[in-house]
Amino acid sequence: MSLIIVDQFSKTSSKLRGHFEKITKDDHSPDRFVWDFWNKPGRYVHLRTPAVRFFPEPLFKKLKVSSSRLERSTSDAAHSRHCG
């Protein structure tokens, strides 16, 4: 598994974090219950949610654009390392 940490990943990061904080602040908000609980006993416990179901559409679209840019840049960097 690879982990890539990118400073300034998206100009929308603070808005994404703000939305997350707002939703998770209220324990009784119906918006909070979009999480999938995965449990493989003895191996892992994982909560996940598709971003498209969690973030408002305008924020999700901006996240998708930032993710596509990152994917292209890491793919280009990998290609230049192997073919350079």
- Rounded to an integer, what distance in angstroms lies between the CA atom of residue 6 and that of residue 72? 14
The pLDDT value given to residue 9: 73
The pLDDT value given to residue 10: 77
- Burial of 8-20, coded b for 16+ CB within 10 Å and e otherwise, reads eebebeebbeebe
Q: Report the chain (84 residues): mean pLDDT per 10 consecutive residues.
A: 70 86 79 71 81 87 84 63 58
Domain boundaries, the chain: 13-83
The pLDDT value given to residue 3: 65
- Rounded to an integer, what distance in angstroms lies between the CA atom of residue 9 and that of residue 74? 12
pTM of the entire predicted model:
0.49
The pLDDT value given to residue 57: 92
The pLDDT value given to residue 38: 73
